[in-house]
């Protein structure tokens, strides 16, 4: 009994893998064990995961069997087994499709039920095949198999052309953001290897795919049964100029498919050995989902929003200088803050969305339809939260791509756009940006079944802003095309914040407004935010207790930060008596890489009281005004101000000069 087709796949009796092709991991002729070992271990082989999809009888199992067989991965006992089964089924040839059917029901019914994983290697790469069933009722398995794929092979029967199932497969591939798609037009032998048939199918598929997001589509005419253009170039299709399938799989460029820009580190587990074994060790374990992390990086832990720095990145094999996807590592932070499973560590300047609601595309995978009466959970990265509501916007007919808005529920294999409302915020990106932080599953709480898979869409996140909170879980930071560099270049200078703090009457506003004068006169954009003036509008609702003062400083700091971002030199004149509030204001700027200059106007209390421009001290001393800083409320002196002014020896002009010198010294403005 033989395997049909081109001669390269004939198994010799002595060594099942003694073939001519070099597409193998097996030792080469004349190679010693040491040499083979070195060749296998020193070669930096990478891993390509691909999914195969095709309708019934498209020859998918045959194609996989052929790939395994022609790349010498089928071993003698497996082949003997297939040969025996082929004979029993009445074939007069070895049916390679039998290599892949794993379950008894599949062999009995001659169909594929479940995703099967296959492995093979060539000198170039290691491959994991997710062999997914093509039947419509098993669409969920294609989604399963394709979710981690770098590449999808869509099989089309040359005699049938692009059918509904081909469109479904193309759509799912695009939905799952598979970066590379290979359309194999199979059974070319049954259409006399006719170029025109191939061209018509290419055109047909292209016209459908043009409406999808498919960055890289390759078409290959093949005969899986005979082996044409699978591993070896077809002798019957001279008109085809491209490479055979295996060559394409070996060489397609996948390194740049990962997101190496946005640092995303979902925390899985806290490593904290008992104090008796390792003193004070605490690290956050996880798999890098995006970006490159390095010790010293400024990071923020979401959704809490605490800022800190990466102290070190550890692995069992020692410290790691750079961690990138998909490495599993453990991260140590410089500050002892609240980090747990479900937290996500990201870079300060590049944050994902944090929200309790967003738009996504769902594939419903359960026989139980979506029901408002059931309770669902969403698992996303390492967080699991309760679903508040699923609002079905429309269902998508994958064959016509038409939207059906007249639906309220979802059934098995439905694909739909929905709005998902959750009981607690998730930290996410759009799936297009990141396949790890943009994907989720939905679990039925009663049955524990996975009922749906979802990808987060690239849409704005609506919702109400929560005031009075540094966390705004329903608001997504709107990135814009305009960059800081372009803004600042147009202005001719950059922005920053000069923060004048000190007792009432110390002279903060006097100095700050004189500095503003000088800057404007020099052609700079500057703006004075005076504490008293702000209390007339923006902060008009605030009193003078500690909490209100915190809030006063917080709001003012945000306004200053926005001004600085715009390129303005923001001058803040505010008592801001608490060190913690000033630190928070500084941190807010640091988080955006903006300069924050703390200027302590340190006039002695007696001097302030003597000046008393607003009569405050007099009122405080008479008991009419309670809680005046310096009299009835504390003032925490800055420990490390950038500049100290306010001594009685200097004139206002001299003090302005010192501020200007400081700016010049820092390269923030020229001395003029």
Partner 1 sequence: MPVTYHLTHLRALESEAIHVMREVAAEFERAVLLFSGGKDSIILLRLAEKAFRPAPLPFPVMHVDTGHNFPEAIEFRDRRIAELDERLVVASVEESIRSGRVVEQTGPRASRNALQTVTLLDAIAEHGFDAAFGGARRDEERARAKERILSFRDEFGQWEPQRQRPELWSLYNGRIRKGEHARVFPISNWTELDVWQYIAEEELEVPSIYFAHDRQVFARDGMLYAVSPFIELMEGEQPFMSRVRYRTVGDMSCTGAVESSACTLAEVVAEIAATDITERGQTRADDRVTEAAMEDRKRQGYF
Annotated catalytic sites, by residue?
Answer: 576
Give backbone dihedrals phi and psi of 9, rounded to 5 degrees, phi first.
-95, 20
Note the Cα 363 to chain centre separation in Å: 20
Q: Which of 110, 326, 369, 615 binds partner 1 (CB under 8 A)?
A: 326
DSSP strand pairing (116-121 vs 376-380): unpaired
Q: Which of 7, 15, 309, 670 binds partner 1 (CB under 8 A)?
A: 15
Question: 437: which residues sit within 8 A by CB, 6+ positions away?
Answer: 264, 266, 289, 290, 344, 352, 380, 381, 427, 428, 429
Residues 369-428 that bind partner 1 (CB under 8 A): 377, 379-380, 382
Q: Which of 298, 449, 636, 650 binds partner 1 (CB under 8 A)?
A: 449
- Taking the complex as a whole, the smallest distance from the CB of residue 27 to partner 1 amounts, in Å, to 5
Q: Which of 21, 40, 257, 424 binds partner 1 (CB under 8 A)?
A: 40
- Among the listed ranges 1-9, 281-289, 591-599, 617-625, the one in contact with partner 1 (CB under 8 A) is 281-289
Contact status: 239 vs partner 1 (CB under 8 A):
no
- Taking the complex as a whole, the smallest distance from the CB of residue 26 to partner 1 amounts, in Å, to 5
User: How far is the C-alpha of 128 from the C-alpha of 145, rounded, in Å?
Assistant: 11
Contact status: 227 vs partner 1 (CB under 8 A):
no
Q: Which of 22, 29, 30, 77 binds partner 1 (CB under 8 A)?
A: 77
- Taking the complex as a whole, the smallest distance from the CB of residue 105 to partner 1 amounts, in Å, to 7
Give the number of other Cβ atoms within 10 Å of residue 592's Cβ: 14
Contact status: 144 vs partner 1 (CB under 8 A):
yes
Q: Which is nearer to partner 1, 129 or 506 (CB)?
A: 129
Contact status: 27 vs partner 1 (CB under 8 A):
yes
User: How far is the C-alpha of 619 from the C-alpha of 628, rounded, in Å?
Assistant: 9
Q: Which is nearer to partner 1, 258 or 582 (CB)?
A: 258
Take residue 207 and report the two structure tokens written for it. 């016209």
- Taking the complex as a whole, the smallest distance from the CB of residue 112 to partner 1 amounts, in Å, to 9
Q: Which of 47, 521, 580, 664 binds partner 1 (CB under 8 A)?
A: 47
- The b/e string for 553-587 (b: 16+ C-beta within 10 A; e otherwise) is bbbbbebbbebbbebbbbbbbbbbbbeebbebbbe
- Among the listed ranges 223-231, 353-361, 449-457, 472-480, the one in contact with partner 1 (CB under 8 A) is 449-457
- Taking the complex as a whole, the smallest distance from the CB of residue 91 to partner 1 amounts, in Å, to 16
Q: Which of 341, 403, 487, 583 binds partner 1 (CB under 8 A)?
A: 341
Sign of dihedral through CA atoms 257, 262, 263, 267? negative
Give the number of other Cβ atoms within 10 Å of residue 297's Cβ: 18
- Taking the complex as a whole, the smallest distance from the CB of residue 600 to partner 1 amounts, in Å, to 44
Q: Which of 20, 22, 30, 34 binds partner 1 (CB under 8 A)?
A: 34
Is 348 in contact with 300 (CB distance < 8 Å)? yes
Q: Which of 8, 21, 56, 78 binds partner 1 (CB under 8 A)?
A: 78
User: How far is the C-alpha of 201 from the C-alpha of 443, rounded, in Å?
Assistant: 39
Contact status: 672 vs partner 1 (CB under 8 A):
no
Contact status: 525 vs partner 1 (CB under 8 A):
no
Q: Which is nearer to partner 1, 77 or 406 (CB)?
A: 77
Q: Which is nearer to partner 1, 375 or 610 (CB)?
A: 375
- Taking the complex as a whole, the smallest distance from the CB of residue 62 to partner 1 amounts, in Å, to 16
User: How far is the C-alpha of 485 from the C-alpha of 69, rounded, in Å?
Assistant: 57
* Helix, strand, coil share of the chain (percent; to 5): 30, 25, 45
- Taking the complex as a whole, the smallest distance from the CB of residue 493 to partner 1 amounts, in Å, to 34
DSSP type of residue 323:
B
Contact status: 591 vs partner 1 (CB under 8 A):
no
3-class SS at 190? helix
Take residue 387 and report the two structure tokens written for it. 């679903």
Q: Which is nearer to partner 1, 121 or 506 (CB)?
A: 121
Q: Which is nearer to partner 1, 121 or 594 (CB)?
A: 121
Enumerate the β-bridge partners of residue 181. 152, 217
- Among the listed ranges 166-174, 217-225, 324-332, 558-566, the one in contact with partner 1 (CB under 8 A) is 324-332
- The b/e string for 191-211 (b: 16+ C-beta within 10 A; e otherwise) is bebeeebbeebbeebeebbee
Contact status: 254 vs partner 1 (CB under 8 A):
no
Q: Which of 20, 30, 448, 665 binds partner 1 (CB under 8 A)?
A: 448
Question: 569: which residues sit within 8 A by CB, 6+ positions away?
Answer: 493, 495, 496, 497, 498, 519, 524, 525, 526, 527, 668, 669
Contact status: 147 vs partner 1 (CB under 8 A):
yes
Place of tokens 């052929």: 66
Q: What is the size of the binding site for partner 1 (CB under 8 A)?
A: 88
Residues 79-138 that bind partner 1 (CB under 8 A): 81, 85, 101-105, 107, 113-119, 121, 125-126, 128
- Among the listed ranges 54-62, 165-173, 446-454, 652-660, the one in contact with partner 1 (CB under 8 A) is 446-454
User: How far is the C-alpha of 29 from the C-alpha of 509, rounded, in Å?
Assistant: 87
- Among the listed ranges 142-150, 195-203, 225-233, 559-567, the one in contact with partner 1 (CB under 8 A) is 142-150
Contact status: 173 vs partner 1 (CB under 8 A):
no
Q: Measuring CA to CA, which residue among 622, 669, 345, 318 is closest to residue 526? A: 669
Place of tokens 């001097």: 607
Contact status: 41 vs partner 1 (CB under 8 A):
yes
- Among the listed ranges 219-227, 318-326, 615-623, 626-634, the one in contact with partner 1 (CB under 8 A) is 318-326
- Taking the complex as a whole, the smallest distance from the CB of residue 260 to partner 1 amounts, in Å, to 6
Q: Measuring CA to CA, which residue among 129, 60, 131, 51 is closest to residue 97? A: 60
Q: Which is nearer to partner 1, 149 or 586 (CB)?
A: 149
User: Distances in Å between the alpha carbon of 128 and those of 25, 52, 119, 125, 145?
Assistant: 15, 11, 5, 10, 11
Query: What 3 state SS string does 431-494 have?
Result: CCCCCCCCEEEEEECCCCCEEEEEEECCCCCCCCCCCCCCCCCCCCCCCCCCCHHHHHHHHCCC
Q: Which is nearer to partner 1, 128 or 396 (CB)?
A: 128
Q: What is the full DSSP assignment across 227-290?
A: TBTTTB--SS-TT--S--HHHHHHH---GGGS--SS-EEE--EEE---TTTSTT--EEEEE--B
- Angle at which helix 164-175 crosses helix 195-209, to 10 degrees, equals 50
Query: What 3 state SS string does 540-582 have?
Result: CCCCCCHHHHHHHHHHHHHHHHHHHHHCCEEEEECCCCCHHHH
User: How far is the C-alpha of 637 from the C-alpha of 660, rounded, in Å?
Assistant: 23
Q: Which is nearer to partner 1, 382 or 595 (CB)?
A: 382
Q: Which is nearer to partner 1, 96 or 563 (CB)?
A: 96
Q: Which is nearer to partner 1, 379 or 403 (CB)?
A: 379
Q: Which of 54, 179, 286, 504 binds partner 1 (CB under 8 A)?
A: 286
Q: Which is nearer to partner 1, 260 or 521 (CB)?
A: 260
Contact status: 71 vs partner 1 (CB under 8 A):
no
- Among the listed ranges 24-32, 527-535, 569-577, 658-666, the one in contact with partner 1 (CB under 8 A) is 24-32
Contact status: 328 vs partner 1 (CB under 8 A):
yes
């Amino acid at each position: 009994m033989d395997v049909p087709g081109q001669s390269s796949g004939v198994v010799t009796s002595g060594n099942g893998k003694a073939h001519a092709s070099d597409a193998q991991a097996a030792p080469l002729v004349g190679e010693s064990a040491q040499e083979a070992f070195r060749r296998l271990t020193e070669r930096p082989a990478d891993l390509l995961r691909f999914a195969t999809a095709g309708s019934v009888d498209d020859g998918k199992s045959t194609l996989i069997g052929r790939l395994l067989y022609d790349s010498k991965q089928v071993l003698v006992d497996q082949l003997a087994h297939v040969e025996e089964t082929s004979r029993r089924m009445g074939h007069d040839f070895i049916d390679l499709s039998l290599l892949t059917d794993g379950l008894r029901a599949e062999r009995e019914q001659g169909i594929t039920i479940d995703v099967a994983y296959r492995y093979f290697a060539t000198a170039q790469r290691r491959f994991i095949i997710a062999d997914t069933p093509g039947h419509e009722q098993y669409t969920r398995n294609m989604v399963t198999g394709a979710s981690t794929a770098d590449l999808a092979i869509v099989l089309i029967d040359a005699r049938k052309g692009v059918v509904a199932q081909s469109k479904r497969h193309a759509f799912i591939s695009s939905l799952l953001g598979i970066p590379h798609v290979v359309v194999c037009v199979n059974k070319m032998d049954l259409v006399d290897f006719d170029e025109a048939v191939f061209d018509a199918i290419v055109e047909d598929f292209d016209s459908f795919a043009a409406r999808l997001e498919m960055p890289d589509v390759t078409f290959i005419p093949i005969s899986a049964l005979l082996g044409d253009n699978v591993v070896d170039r077809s002798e019957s299709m001279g008109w085809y100029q491209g490479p055979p399938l295996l060559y394409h799989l070996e060489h397609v460029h996948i390194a740049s498919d990962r997101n190496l820009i946005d640092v995303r580190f979902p925390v899985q587990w806290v490593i904290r050995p008992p104090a008796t074994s390792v003193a004070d060790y605490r690290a956050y374990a996880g798999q890098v989902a995006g970006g490159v992390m390095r010790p010293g990086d400024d990071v923020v832990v979401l959704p809490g929003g605490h800022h800190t720095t990466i102290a070190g990145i550890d692995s069992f094999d020692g410290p790691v200088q750079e961690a990138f996807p998909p490495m599993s590592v453990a991260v140590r932070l410089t500050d002892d803050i609240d980090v747990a499973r479900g937290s996500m560590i990201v870079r300060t300047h590049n944050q994902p969305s944090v929200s309790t609601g967003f738009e996504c595309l769902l594939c419903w995978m359960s026989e139980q339809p979506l029901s408002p009466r059931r309770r669902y959970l969403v698992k996303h990265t390492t967080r699991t939260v309760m679903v508040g509501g699923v609002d079905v916007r429309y269902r998508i007919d994958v064959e016509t791509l038409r939207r059906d808005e007249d639906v309220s529920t979802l059934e098995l294999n439905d694909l739909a756009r929905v709005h998902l409302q959750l009981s607690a915020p998730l930290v996410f990106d759009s799936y297009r940006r990141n396949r790890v932080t943009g994907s989720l599953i939905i679990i039925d709480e009663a049955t524990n079944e996975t009922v749906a898979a979802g990808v987060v869409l690239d849409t704005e996140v609506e919702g109400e802003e929560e005031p009075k909170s540094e966390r705004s879980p329903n608001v997504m930071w709107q990135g814009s095309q305009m960059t800081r560099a372009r803004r600042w270049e147009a202005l001719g200078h950059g922005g920053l914040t000069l923060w004048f703090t000190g007792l009432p009457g110390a002279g903060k506003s006097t100095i700050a407004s004189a500095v503003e004068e000088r800057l404007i006169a020099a052609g700079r954009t500057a703006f004075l935010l005076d504490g008293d003036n702000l209390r007339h509008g923006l902060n008009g609702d605030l009193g003078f207790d500690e909490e209100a003062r915190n809030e006063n400083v917080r709001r003012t700091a945000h306004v200053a930060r926005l001004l600085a971002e715009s390129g303005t030199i923001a001058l803040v004149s505010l008592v801001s008596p608490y060190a913690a509030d000033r630190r928070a204001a500084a941190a807010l700027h640091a988080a955006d890489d903006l300069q924050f200059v703390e200027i302590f106007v340190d006039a002695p209390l007696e001097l302030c009281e003597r000046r008393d421009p607003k009569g405050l001290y007099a009122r405080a001393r008479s008991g009419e005004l309670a809680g005046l800083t310096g009299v009835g409320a504390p003032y925490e002196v800055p420990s490390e101000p950038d500049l100290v002014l306010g001594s009685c020896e200097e004139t206002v002009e001299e003090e302005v000069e010192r501020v200007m010198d400081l700016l010049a010294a820092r390269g923030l403005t020229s001395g003029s």
